[in-house]
Amino acid sequence: MKSPDTKKTDIDSETIAALLKRIIAENGRDHIWGYSIAIFCLVVVAASTATMAAVMRPIVNGAFYERRAEVMWLICFAILAAFVARGFAGYFQSVILSKIGNGIIARYQRRLYAHLMTLSVGFFSEARSAQIAARVSQNVSGIRDVMNLIITSTARDLLSFVFLLANMVYQDPLLSLLFFIIAPPVFLALRHISRRLRAVTREAVILNSRVLGAMQETIQGVSIVKAFTMERELERKVDKLITAAENRQNRIARISERNGPLIETVAGFAVAGVFAYAAYRSIYQNVPPGAVFSFIVSLLLAYDPARRLAKLQVQLERAVVNARMIYELLDMEPRQRDLADAKPLTITEARIEFRDVHFAYGDEAVLCDVSFIAEGGETTALVGPSGAGKSTVINLIPRFYDPKAGSIFIDGQDIAHVTKQSLREQTAYVSQQPYLFEGTIRDNIRYGRPEATNAEVEEAARLAYAHDFILAQPQGYDTPVGENGVTLSGGQRQRLSIARALVRNAPILLLDEATSALDTESEAAVQKALDEAMSGRTVVVIAHRLSTVVRAEKIIVMQNGRVVEEGNHETLATADNGLYARLNNLQRPAVSSNSRK
């Protein structure tokens, strides 16, 4: 799957039209009544605006030219009513559109999160987490902005402009011709500006996500940063990214605001010309000024909606770019869909069989013709040098990835033809780097099985040799763990990870070098927990330290993506020129010590 950043940055008119149609179709029907009320309020705003311009003619002619006092009271009441109606209508439409907009953002955030959970592990290994987070937080507002711009521009700005333009034509058709002469060049210029804005808006989003990514990496690896005195180097890197993002935002500002001088200049010529024309007719032709004043007020009031309409395409282009980046995520097809004939996995012995399995990350072959059997209720260990493909084997069992060729069976059922949900419900996983989520210790253990009772959570902690250190925490099981368990040691985090696997009570347990990153004391405690966890389950375990796998019923030795040896510790350790024997000789003191235990 290509990263979205590699796609073209420009958007043609057909794409914009298709996106607008999709956004309206997805959101218009769900909020039809709210939008209808908002549109009604905006029509009231537009009508009241035009009313204020229309009453200028009788005010000027009746009060200042004809001096008719009886007309003024009605006109003043009409003006007051127009302002009150406009105020309340503006308030209600603003509140309604804000509520609908917030609902749209929440809805798409839920959709995005749910969709991201359907994507494969491969997608997340290729995409940077900060860039995904930036899209979810920054770009999702583009869909709300598209809807709000369409509603407000159509029901308020366009109608206000049309009503005011109609009043201008009614008051003075000759002057109104100026608009039909000036408008086309202005809109052509604005269209050119909007085209320039398309690409830079998307580039700005990408640069901002890179800035967030660099900061996130620094925060997560701050101990390494300080240990290797990388502060200056990373400051230069982040400063370069920030400068690029700043320059891009400045370019967006320059492009998007270019219509300001153009519109202001045109408006200045128009207003100055109208005033000159009105003064000439009043002075030399003795024409009552009411019509011209009404025209001028219409012209001035039409300025704001005209300005907003002129900027509409630019704003809409920016919102559509954001919306498109959201839809790029939502439209990504999961690589691993359940097949049409997929059925729930039925466990009897939990026997795992790899049959002629091949796998590659892209063009890089990792596994070649791998075949072995992990018997049900027994422990099968995977050993071998780094890069042999051991972790890939572990990742294929719960279908984090699918093999390129060959098959994997559990109790005779091809896992490609069972549902992923049922498959993963029958497995528990303990990684080399345990991950803890925001929340309490109890919450993190219960993630293994959300319906587990407090008693089951505590029993799992006892079996994982975690109960005592949990009780020593300030709030016991209700102690917050901090970001990724920062308040706990590595051994404590690993034992909580094992407790999470135990509370799941799954028949298959996958252990990916669960003790390799621990000190000797922590390893001993975790190994006790693992012994409890492995009892009565089908276990596939990876270990660099052979001392942790000498009691495994079967040991699979891998090298360069192939199975090169198979047996138990005694047979493999005495094999002439065998890879396991060589590894055993290198680690003999530790292995012998563990065997005597």
Q: Rounded to whole angstroms, how far apart are CA atoms 538 and 110? A: 37
Q: Where are the alpha helices (DSSP H) in 419-464?
A: 420-425, 441-446, 454-463
- Provide the CATH topology of domain 352-596: Rossmann fold (3.40.50)
Burial class (CB in 10 A: 0-12, 13-18, 19+), 276: exposed
From first to last of the 597 residues of the chain, give the pLDDT tens digit: 444 444 444 556 667 778 888 888 888 888 889 989 999 999 998 888 888 788 777 777 766 666 666 666 777 777 788 888 888 998 998 899 989 988 888 888 888 888 888 887 777 777 666 667 767 777 788 888 888 888 888 888 888 888 888 888 888 787 777 667 766 676 666 666 666 666 676 677 677 777 777 777 677 666 667 766 777 878 888 888 888 888 877 877 777 676 667 667 776 777 677 777 777 777 777 766 777 778 778 877 887 787 778 777 777 877 887 888 888 888 888 777 888 889 999 999 999 999 999 999 877 889 999 999 999 999 999 998 888 899 899 999 999 888 999 999 999 999 999 999 899 999 988 887 788 888 899 999 998 888 999 999 999 898 888 898 899 998 999 998 877 777 788 888 888 988 898 888 889 999 887 766 566 766 777 777 777 777 788 999 987 777 667 888 899 999 999 999 999 888 888 887 788 888 888 766 544 444 444
Q: Rounded to whole angstroms, how far apart are CA atoms 165 and 277? A: 18
Identify the DSSP state of 540.
E
Quick one: tokens of 374?
A: 């992990």
Q: Rounded to whole angstroms, how far apart are CA atoms 288 and 272? A: 19
Q: Is the dihedral of CA 183, 184, 188, 194 positive or negative?
A: positive
Predicted local distance difference test score (pLDDT) of residue 256: 67
Its CATH class, for the domain covering 12-330, is mainly alpha
Residue ranges covered by each domain of the chain: 12-330, 352-596
Predicted local distance difference test score (pLDDT) of residue 71: 66
Select from 379, 385, 313, 320 the least CA-distant residue to 350: 379
The CA-atom distances, in angstroms, between 439 and each of 277, 468, 549 are 73, 19, 34
Q: What is the dihedral of CA 27, 28, 30, 36, to 10 degrees?
A: 140
Instruction: List, edge to edge, every strand of the sheet that includes 562-567.
Output: 427-430, 508-512, 538-542, 379-383, 554-559, 562-567
Predicted local distance difference test score (pLDDT) of residue 382: 93
Given this chain, do its domains 12-330 and 352-596 carry the same CATH topology?
A: no
